[in-house]
Structure 1
Amino acid sequence: MPTNTTNFSLIKPGQEEFYNVDVPNANMDTIDGVLKTLQDAISSGASEQDLKVLRDALATHLAEPSSHVYYADDTGTANAKIIAITPVVAYAKGLGISFTNKTENTGAVSLNVNGLGPIPILKSNGNPLSSGNLKTNSIYTVRFNGTSFILQGEGGEYGTATAADVIAGKTIGTEEGLKTGTIPNYSGISPGANGIPSNGGIYADRFEYDVLPPKSGYYDTASKVHQILTNLISSNIRAGVVIPEIGITGTLTAEQLGAFMAATGTVVANTSNNYTDGSGNNVQLGTVVVNVLNFKPTLVVLYNISDGIYTTIYHPLLAYGTNSTANINVSGLRGIKLMGIASVDATGFVMPVSVQGGTYRYFALKI
Structure 2
Amino acid sequence: MPEQSARLGIPLPLGNENVSRQAIREMLQAVDEHAETIPGAQAKADAAEAAAKSYADSAAGSAAGAVASALAAHKADFTQQIPYAMTAGSANAYTASTTPALPSLVAGVAITVKFHAANTGASSLNWNGKGAKSIRNPDGTNVGSGDLSSGGVYTLRYDGTNFILQGKGEVKLTGDATDANVLSGKIYYNTDPKTKRIGTMPNNPSQTATLQITGSAKPTKSIPAGYVPPSTITAELATALANKIIAGNTIGGVAGTATISSLGGLRQVSGVTPSFPESYTVSGLALPFQPRIIIYNRYWQAYMGGASSYGYTDYCIFVALSINTLSCLYRVRGDTGTASYYHSTHYLSNITPDGFTYHGPVGSNVKNGGPLNYTLIE
Q: Same fold (TM over 0.5)?
A: no
Q: TM-score, normalising length from structure 1?
A: 0.37
Taking structure 2 as the reference length, what is the TM-score of the superposition? 0.36
Larger Rg: 2
